[in-house]
Amino acid sequence: MTRIGGTWQNWGRSASVRPVRVERPRSPEGVQRAVRAAVRQGLTVKAVGAGHSFTGIAVAPGVLLELDDLQGLVSADAVSGRVTLLAGTRLHRIPGLLARYGLAMENLGDIDRQSIAGAISTGTHGTGAGFGGLATQVVGVTLITADGEFLRIDEAHSPELLPAVAVGLGALGIIVEVTLQCVPTFVMHAIDEPVPMEEVLSTIDERVAAADHFEFYWFPHTDVALTKRQARLPESTRRRPLPPVGRWVDETLLANGVYRVVCAAGQAVPAITPRFNRLAVRLTGDREYTDLSNRVLTQSRTVRFREMEYALPAADVVPAFRALQDLIDQRGWRVEFPVEVRFAAADDRWLSTAYGRETAYIAVHRYWRADPTEYFGAVEEIMSAHDGRPHWGKLHTLTHDTLRGRYPRFEDFVALRDRLDPDRRFSNRYLERVLGR
């Protein structure tokens, strides 16, 4: 399907574009035809999944390819755990597709609305010091190159390129299929618990090491960390999920419904924000349950926001976090969204934010109607002082001149881009800023 005109905007309302035309291919061959047509006409072409990136990474001023119809399971092998998915498949659909094979993704982020291609291409990650981001689960990718040809990359076909294309930023071609190494279905025992902030910061290494997955949230203007820790258990473990009513109260009524009203009200009356944050800490973040991995790792977030996240060497997380606390206090800002701290293992994906180092992530957010510029800019200075690498799909201001020094394989990636897309058919302003022309 092809249509002319119309404005596309991302979920966070931080990026928009009026493309020359929008196409909605229903097969990998349809993507191939669209790429060839765009190249013949001298137009750029970009694929869009769920639009959950806050940056302009998916902005398509030429031809925008909506991958909403390119979803589903291509193949699955219960013995090897290898699963191939069409690129537009939404993360929240994958558990249902894998259930009959007794398989699950090894780890997930806390939001599952993204497409699988978009999630890996931007370096989406979850938490857990023993686990990498979603791109580390990738063992094969099929993409359409600027020549309009299929290019398969896996252990049997150009395996040396897999660490580059797994986090490819959409700069190397249009991904049409992704092959994942999955694991047997498992459940997780989860404990959400408020803990004094100073206690968490002083024992952070022990807490991260003691849990399969650990993270914490901090509502500014409070002295409490809302900690979340989980242990992975066999699928046969008896499940004790959250009661439906209790889950609805926590995640729908309070975390989304009431919170949306308070965020909106805080724009008119900022003084209410600290009081609400203190109330939120008392009302949420204290529960224990056991459920399927995807139901524990992910959560529903319907309140629209904007986000910046930086990856730091894990050893730097406490001083960086303390500097962030001091910053908010000194500036007197009224920040309505919590700060999130997560962890990940080092990996070998060239443009992964965890490339070559054990990593901690600090994410800051603002309600989408608030101007985040001053807050995010000041936080970015702190993160840069700790050799921070920005999440590719979240707001930041860095350019290729700076990023080049933070990624050991940056020049190798650029050289591969020169080879696969010399005329920059897959480029846009964001990619020009972070990768160069």
> Could you give the dihedral angle defined by the CA atoms of residues 179, 400, 65 and 83, in that order, rounded to the nearest 10 degrees?
10
Query: Does the pLDDT value for residue 106 go beyond 70?
Result: yes
Tokens 């394989």 correspond to 409
Question: How far apart are the C-alpha atoms of 106 and 121, rounded to whole Å?
Answer: 17
Q: Cα separations (Å) of 417 from 60, 170, 336, 383?
A: 18, 10, 40, 28
Question: How far apart are the C-alpha atoms of 31 and 1, rounded to whole Å?
Answer: 11
Residue 299, pLDDT score: 86
- For 73-184, give the CATH class: alpha beta
Query: Does the pLDDT value for residue 263 go beyond 90?
Result: no
Mean pLDDT across 365-372 = 94
Question: How far apart are the C-alpha atoms of 76 and 143, rounded to whole Å?
Answer: 19
Mean pLDDT across 137-166 = 98
CA geometry: angle 164, 364, 377, nearest 5 deg: 85
Q: Pairing between strand 21-23 and 63-66? A: parallel
Does pTM top 0.75 for this prediction? Answer: yes
Query: Does the pLDDT value for residue 74 go beyond 90?
Result: yes
- C-alpha of 349 from chain center: 15
Confidence of residue 251 (pLDDT cuts 50, 70, 90): confident
Question: How far apart are the C-alpha atoms of 394 and 309, rounded to whole Å?
Answer: 6
Confidence of residue 255 (pLDDT cuts 50, 70, 90): low
Mean pLDDT across 317-340 = 96
Q: What is the mean pLDDT of the chain?
A: 94
Lowest mean per-residue pLDDT among 203-207, 212-216, 275-279 = 275-279
Residue 249, pLDDT score: 64
Q: Delimit the domains of the chain by residue range.
A: 73-184, 186-390
**CATH T-level assignment (fold) for domain 186-390:** Vanillyl-alcohol Oxidase; Chain A, domain 3 (3.40.462)
Q: Cα separations (Å) of 246 from 91, 111, 145, 250, 288?
A: 25, 20, 49, 6, 12
Residue 159 in tokens: 């395996």
